[in-house]
């Protein structure tokens, strides 16, 4: 197994562990909604400490359910990951193309 394959396997195992361990260890069992986002937890904490608090503004779009909100968040994350992957792939391709062009120019110079 090559070094890159070992690193990729190790990274995959870490990601799986991060996803499975909180569920397997029962983290959040004492909560009504154990894995809510930071926005929901912050809202709960603010309303508990300051019940008369009024938000400065309201969201432009309020999804009808939590599932739709999660789906939109996942879509946003996937689009962001796609843009980053495209950018880094483009940079790598350009770098490889420049290296190949340089090798060709050197080989052409030697042939003359």
Encode pLDDT of 82-100 as tens digits.
Answer: 999 999 999 999 999 999 9
Cβ(53)–Cβ(47) below 8 Å: yes
Of 62, 64, 41, 43, which is closest to residue 53 (Cα–Cα)? 43
Q: pLDDT band at residue 33, thresholds of 50, 70 and 90?
A: low
Q: Where are the alpha helices (DSSP H) in the chain?
A: 3-24, 38-49, 66-111
Q: How far apart, in whole angstroms, are the C-alpha atoms of residue 5 and residue 100?
A: 26
The token pair at 51 is 């019940």
DSSP designation for 33? S
Mean pLDDT of all residues in 73-78: 94
The token pair at 44 is 């709960």
**pLDDT exceeds 70 at position 3:** yes
The structure's pTM equals 0.53
Q: How far apart, in whole angstroms, are the C-alpha atoms of residue 71 and residue 78?
A: 10
pLDDT of residue 34: 65
């Amino acid at each position: 197994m090559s070094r890159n394959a070992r690193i990729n396997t190790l990274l995959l195992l870490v990601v799986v562990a991060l996803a499975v361990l909180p569920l397997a260890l029962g983290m959040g069992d004492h909560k009504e909604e154990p894995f809510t986002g930071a926005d929901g937890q912050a809202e709960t904490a603010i309303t508990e400490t300051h019940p008369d608090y009024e938000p400065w503004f309201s969201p432009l779009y309020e999804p009808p359910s939590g599932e739709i909100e999660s789906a939109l968040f996942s879509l946003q994350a996937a689009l962001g990951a796609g843009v980053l992957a495209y950018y880094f792939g483009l940079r790598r391709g350009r770098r490889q193309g420049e290296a190949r062009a340089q090798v060709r120019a050197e080989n052409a110079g030697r042939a003359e």
